[in-house]
Amino acid sequence: MQQKGTQSPWKRAGGENSQNRKVTDFYPVRRSSRKSKMELKCEEKKLIDDLITSGIEEGMEVQYIEGKGRAVFATRCFQKGDYVVEYHGDLLQITDAKKREAEYAQNPATGCYMYYFQYLCKTYCVDATKETGRMGRLINHSKNGNCQTKLHDINGVPHLILIASRNIDKGEELLYDYGDRSKASIAAHPWLKY
């Protein structure tokens, strides 16, 4: 509390006729090196674009599991929301995809690696049936998987990617829900129930 007849220290220090001082007269201007959310999102998108277009798949390895077949395991930790891998294959429109699926049905030895999805009001399919060195097509199904699919646009072309739906430890099998609950599919592939 200020006593009567005394001036506040602020008025005394500046005085009536003294120059107005600014904080920057005493302290240098500092610019923040933090990036905005938009800058961070753009950088993250560019990184994922580069990984997809270059075909780089890191942090995973394929192992064989008796009675199950090939499976993909994490060789490093993934944090929730991290890009894991692209579900890579031929991008087809629905009419071409249905024709190809009918061809595959002729040969029971051919597995089905076709993933249908909606993008900008059109139905597309990524056909990953052709055997390649890419690992996204080998990630197995689980209703409680640790990955989930997400659409990623590169110059107007949709790509299906898998991202970590929770933190994933090194050595864990990578799994996602295929989403197919039709009676015919479950009859042909009982493992879809789990």
Domain CATH number, residue 170:
2.170.270.10
Least confident interval from 24-33, 44-53, 115-124, 173-182: 24-33
Q: Residue 51 has what DSSP assignment? A: H
Segment 144-167 mean pLDDT: 94
Nearest 5°: the CA angle 86, 170, 180 is 45
Establish if 79 belongs to a structural domain. Answer: yes
Q: Would residue 117 count as lying in a domain?
A: no
Of the given ranges (3-7, 61-65, 81-85, 156-160), which has the lowest mean pLDDT? 3-7
Residues 78-101, mean pLDDT to the nearest whole number: 93
pLDDT for 173 equals 95
Domain span at residue 176?
35-88+132-193
143 within a domain of the structure (yes/no): yes
Is residue 11 assigned to a domain? Answer: no
CB neighbour burial string for 142-178, b if at least 16 within 10 angstroms, e if fewer: beebbbebeebeeeeebbbbbbbbeebeeeebbbbbb
For residue 104, the model assigns a pLDDT of 86
d(CA 114, CA 101): 8
pLDDT at 16 over 60: no
Average pLDDT rounded to a whole number, residues 32-36: 76
Q: Is residue 98 part of a domain?
A: no
Sign (positive or negative) of CA dihedral 21, 23, 24, 28: positive
Beta bridge partners of 126: 91, 115
Tokens of 86: 């692209």
State mean pLDDT over 162-169: 96
How confident is the prediction for the chain on average, in pLDDT?
A: 83
Q: How far apart are CA 120 and CA 126, in angstroms?
A: 15
In the structure, what pLDDT confidence band is assigned to residue 40 with cuts at 50, 70 and 90?
confident
CB 97 within 8 A of CB 105: no
The reply to whether 12 falls in a domain is no
Provide mean pLDDT across the span 12-39. 68
Statement: residue 114 has pLDDT above 70: yes
Residue 74 confidence (pLDDT):
97
Which of 171, 168, 128 is CA-nearest to residue 148? 168
Mean local confidence (pLDDT), 94-122: 87
More confident residue, 110 or 167: 167
Query: Would you state the pLDDT for residue 111?
Result: 75
pTM of full prediction above 0.75: no
The residue assigned the tokens 């009675």 is 67
| Best mean pLDDT range from 14-18, 140-144, 167-171 | 167-171
Please give the tally of structural domains in the chain. Answer: 1
Q: Stretch 140-148: mean pLDDT, rounded?
A: 90
Where would I find the H helices in 15-161? 23-26, 37-54, 94-105
When pLDDT is cut at 50, 70 and 90, the band that residue 143 belongs to is: confident
Does residue 67 belong to any structural domain of this protein? yes
Kindly compute the dihedral angle of the four CA atoms of residues 55, 129, 124, 191, in this order, to the nearest 10 degrees.
Answer: -110
What is d(CA 60, CA 70) in angstroms, rounded to the nearest whole number? 13
Under a CB-based contact definition with an 8 Å cutoff, are residues 111 and 189 in contact?
A: no
Question: Closest Cα to residue 161, out of 185, 135, 180?
Answer: 135
Q: Is residue 140 part of a domain?
A: yes
